[in-house]
Amino acid sequence: MIGLGVMGRNLLLNMADHGFAVVGFDKDAQKTGTLESSASPGTTVKGVNTLAEMIQLLETPRRIMMLVPAGQPVDDVIHDLLPVLEKGDIVIDGGNSHYTDTLRRVKFMQEKGFHFVGMGVSGGEKGARNGPSIMPGGDLEAYPHIKPMLEAVSAKVNGVPCVAYCGKDAAGHYVKMVHNGIEYAIMQLISETYDLLHRGLGLDNEELYKVYKNWNDGELSSFLVEITRDIFLKKDDKTSNYLVDMILDKAGAKGTGKWTSQDAMDLGIPVPTIDTAVNLRELSAYKDERTQASAIYKTPTADVPVPKEVFIQQLGDALFFAMIISYAQGLAQLAVASKELNMEIPMHDVVKIWRGGCIIRSTLLETFFKAYEKNPQLSNILLDGEIAQLLQAKKQNTRNVIIHAIHMGYPVAALMSTLSYFDAYRSERMPTNLIQAQRDYFGAHTYQRIDEPGTFHSEWEPK
């Protein structure tokens, strides 16, 4: 393992716990020291401070994984490795690299006789230590050499490892990128429900804990709802307040959500809830302007027009509806990108390995798994009968919640975008005929007709 930050260290310790003898490299002697001192008794874990030492200790073909920040650091590691590698050695990038960088690196390394695997790893620090979801792609020749180790360390659902070969070239990193896009969408949706419960209904943190607990105990059971539940009970150690109330409302982002949106746009795939989630994180950064605007534009004082319990029930339904739509958008992106970028992503395996270990794991993944089992070529999960039934049951309450939120003046951009996506997707006829007419009017861009094939142009200006 190259890079012994907490993720690299934890994943390596996880491998050691599963009986693999491992070596961790970091120039920083303190990090190699921490690695060795945190190894479980009886495991073989060695920390080294030079690449030469590491290379000496590894069997061939060498399996060298790096967990370093995306971008230049990955190229730097490759550069340092080149002189010491032997033909057939396998280099694995387990970070959140942009898939186009991975594509370039796969080619570059192949030309030199080395294997390069772009691999998504999800689950944060704890996941890395106890069982992450792992999304390797690329070099099929290399996969058998790393498969046993990855299967051993990954999370398991019903005994099935949450790791599978995710497709050609940079597919592993593409799948992880879209995973993170969905992660952004769900996090934004949960934050909107929090806003409505907290500012809208006036619930305090202990009441919020109870709502998210109930949700997580039911059909909304998921990692992100579960951690949200626990966040509300965490006390600040600097004041006597709850920690969540002491956190500045500006969201950070390392880029994977934005990349998902950017790439979806390039490929012509609509993922409006992911786009919205990226936008709202961006808007959160304008704290000073928001403060000024809040003094000018007051929030309406309308109350929720239904009893508290009813509203909470409606809100849970809306979150459930919107979560499904978020997965639907991300999975639809994967299905199209797989074809367009010739990655051969096995959709059925992707939802299988997202069932455990990763940040977007939820009981819904089991339903999606069944949908792809029935039809591996499913273009959009909204077309599956069982999923359609789930959405049908929740769509009215999604509308109700959005109407209440609009009256109360609280932003629910992600909820609204899921509903609009749903309403447009289920429209046999969209108002896009008018857009075509306008384009033809001002730019002679032509249009197609509903009653005969061909391309047409009309003179639109009134005589």
d(CA 92, CA 55): 15
Residue tagged active-site, from 176, 258, 352, 394: 176
When asked if residue 185 is in the footprint of ligand 6PG (CB under 6 A), the reply is no
In b/e form, how buried is each residue of 22-41, taking b as 16+ CB within 10 angstroms?
Answer: bbbbbeeeebbebbeeebee
Shortest approach of ligand 6PG to residue 229 CB, angstroms?
19
Site for ligand 6PG (CB under 6 A): which residue of 180, 216, 222, 326? 180
Residue closer to ligand 6PG, measured from CB, 32 or 222: 222
The residue count for binding ligand 6PG (CB under 6 A) is: 13
Residue closer to ligand 6PG, measured from CB, 256 or 400: 256
> Following CA atoms 179, 183, 185, 191 in sequence, which dihedral angle do they give, to the nearest 10 degrees?
180
Residue 190 · residue 319 · CB < 8 Å: yes
* Piece of the chain touching ligand 6PG by CB under 6 A; list 38-46, 162-170, 247-255, 312-320: 247-255
Site for ligand 6PG (CB under 6 A): which residue of 10, 14, 32, 96? 96
Residue closer to ligand 6PG, measured from CB, 94 or 167: 94
When asked if residue 183 is in the footprint of ligand 6PG (CB under 6 A), the reply is yes
10 Å Cβ neighbour count for 72?
A: 11
When asked if residue 253 is in the footprint of ligand 6PG (CB under 6 A), the reply is yes
Active site residue 183: yes
When asked if residue 358 is in the footprint of ligand 6PG (CB under 6 A), the reply is yes
When asked if residue 135 is in the footprint of ligand 6PG (CB under 6 A), the reply is no
Shortest approach of ligand 6PG to residue 252 CB, angstroms?
6
Long-range contacts, stretch 308-313, CB < 8 angstroms, 24+ apart: 308/201, 311/196, 311/201, 311/401, 311/404, 312/197, 312/201, 312/211, 313/397
Residue tagged active-site, from 183, 192, 219, 226: 183
d(CA 125, CA 110): 31
When asked if residue 326 is in the footprint of ligand 6PG (CB under 6 A), the reply is no
Catalytic (active-site) positions = 176, 183
Residues that bind ligand 6PG (CB under 6 A): 96, 122-124, 180, 183, 252-254, 256-257, 358-359
